[in-house]
């Protein structure tokens, strides 16, 4: 994001309180400083010489979850998350970012992911359809990837896998390392080009957002205009509607709910498809969480899990608490990061977490 746009955005947001009610971090911390208005005011005050980037101020800058909820509820579409990423980049450039993030950035820069010292898989083969795997699906919830591929084959697709083991670029961009993000983005687009695909499938809304918006808005990299982007759940729901995907209904079970993945709010109209798929196989209607659909909050699976693990954990607790309050005992989601975060804390809430893709694959006819 150009610096002048970031300044304009934070100047707009510093005194605006109109998205306070949807900010997940503000909701779990109840602190004025940790809201979009608070972050905007800190950044604009730094520009006016009213504060310095002290350790404490930097910590606060790194508490935004970069989930996009504020922007999605903004009537004038202020790109505050991108402006915060820009401010973080300035802080990181000055050597003032939290120390652990520099080593994390080195790891991502070297391996393409924060989880394993392993190179991303090379692209093999070509085809009209590619599937972006990324790092979360590869390392955090590999069963979901296998199940998604089973489902895609069931509707006659055998996509070329790209970016397997490589982050989309969202993570380093969010943490203030745009150059690393650009390198990952270019590598992913090189994979895409090598695959010769004209349709790129994604496994979650976070990756959809990265390709559709983050690349151009934050990194100045154009996504190829001739390649369509579609989420796997959207594709499967289309096949379900067309009768080219047949699923059998599962047996009885406890009350269940669907958890909207992180970044849902950044992708318009994506929340219906997974619910249609779930409704097709579950014996009873799902209950809904309070923080759902256009107001959905992320679990602790965004960049926050690296920037501020404690608040990320609180976001996860909040999702599980919301689920328990709704009466659900069994939660479904297709996003590897969300599943991983929820699973780590679910037992203490008496909840069971299951991958949506795995459920659907089991119910294939």
Choose between 138 and 314: whose C-beta lies nearer to another protein. 314
The residues pairing with 43 across neighbouring beta strands, listed in sequence order, are: none
- CB of residue 308 to another protein, shortest distance in Å: 14
Residue 30 or 348: which CB sits closer to another protein?
30
Closer CB to another protein, 56 or 103, in the complex: 56
- Tokens of residue 338, six digits: 């969300």
Cβ pair 257, 287 in contact under 8 A: yes
Q: How far is the CB of 319 from another protein (least distance, A)?
A: 16
* 8 A C-beta contact, residue 256 and residue 332: yes
The pair of three-digit structure tokens given for residue 229, joined into one six-digit string: 């982007």
| DSSP designation for 211 | I
Identify the sign of the CA torsion 328, 136, 228, 130. negative
The angle that helices 336-345 and 142-154 make with each other, rounded to 10 degrees, is: 140
Give the C-alpha separation, 34 to 36, whole Å: 7
Question: Nearest approach, Cβ of 286 to another protein (angstroms)?
Answer: 15
Least distance from another protein to the Cβ atom of residue 269, Å = 19
User: Of 40 and 261, which CB lies nearer to another protein in the complex structure?
Assistant: 40
Residue nearer to another protein on the CB measure, 32 or 128: 32
Q: What is the 3-state secondary structure (H, E, C) of 220-273?
A: CCCCCCCCEEEEHHHHHHHHHHHCCCCECCCCCCCCEEECCCCCHHHCCCCCHH
Nearer to another protein, 42 or 97 (CB): 42
Smallest distance from the beta carbon of 290 to another protein, in angstroms? 7
Q: Shortest approach of another protein to residue 293 CB, angstroms?
A: 12
Structure tokens at 246: 């047949």
Give min distance, CB of 275 to another protein, in A: 17
- Residue 247: what are its φ and ψ, rounded to 5°? -125, 140
For another protein, the closer CB: 74 or 147: 74
Q: Which residues are at the interface with another protein (CB under 8 A)?
A: 11-13, 15-21, 27, 30-33, 37-38, 41-42, 45, 48-51, 54, 56-57, 60, 74-76, 78, 290, 295
Structure tokens at 200: 């790129």
The answer to whether residues 253 and 330 touch, using CB atoms and an 8 Å cutoff, is yes
């Amino acid at each position: 994001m150009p610096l002048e746009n970031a300044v304009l955005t934070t100047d707009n947001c510093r005194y605006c309180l109109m998205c306070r009610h949807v900010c997940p971090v503000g909701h779990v911390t109840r602190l004025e400083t940790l809201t979009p208005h608070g972050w905007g005011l800190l950044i604009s005050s730094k520009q006016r010489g009213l504060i310095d980037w002290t350790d404490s101020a930097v910590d606060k800058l790194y508490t935004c979850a970069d989930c996009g909820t504020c922007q999605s509820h903004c009537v004038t579409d202020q790109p505050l998350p991108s402006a915060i990423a820009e401010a973080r980049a300035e802080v990181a450039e000055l050597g003032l970012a939290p120390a652990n993030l520099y080593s994390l950035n080195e790891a991502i820069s070297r391996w393409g992911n924060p989880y394993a010292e392993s190179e991303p898989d090379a692209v093999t083969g070509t085809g009209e359809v590619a599937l972006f795997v990324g790092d979360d699906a590869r390392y955090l919830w590999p069963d979901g990837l296998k199940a998604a591929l089973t489902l895609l084959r069931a509707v006659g697709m055998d996509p070329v896998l790209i970016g397997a083991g490589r982050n989309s670029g969202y993570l380093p961009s969010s943490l203030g390392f745009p150059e690393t993000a650009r390198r990952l983005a270019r590598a992913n687009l090189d994979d895409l080009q090598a695959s010769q695909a004209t349709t790129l499938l994604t496994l979650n809304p976070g990756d959809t957002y990265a390709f559709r918006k983050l690349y151009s808005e934050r990194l100045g990299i154009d996504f190829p205009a001739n390649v369509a982007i579609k989420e796997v759940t959207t594709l499967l729901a289309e096949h379900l509607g067309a009768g080219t995907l047949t699923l059998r209904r599962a047996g009885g079970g406890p009350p269940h709910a669907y958890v909207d993945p992180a970044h849902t709010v950044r992708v318009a109209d994506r929340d219906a498809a997974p619910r249609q798929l779930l409704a097709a196989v579950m014996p009873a209607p799902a209950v809904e969480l309070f923080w759902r659909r256009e107001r959905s909050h992320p679990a602790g699976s965004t960049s926050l899990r690296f920037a501020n693990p404690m608040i990320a954990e609180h976001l996860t607790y909040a999702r599980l608490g919301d689920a328990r309050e709704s009466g659900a005992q069994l939660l479904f989601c297709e996003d590897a990061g969300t599943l991983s975060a929820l699973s780590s804390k679910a037992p203490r809430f008496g909840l069971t977490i299951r991958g949506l893709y795995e459920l659907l694959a089991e119910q294939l006819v």
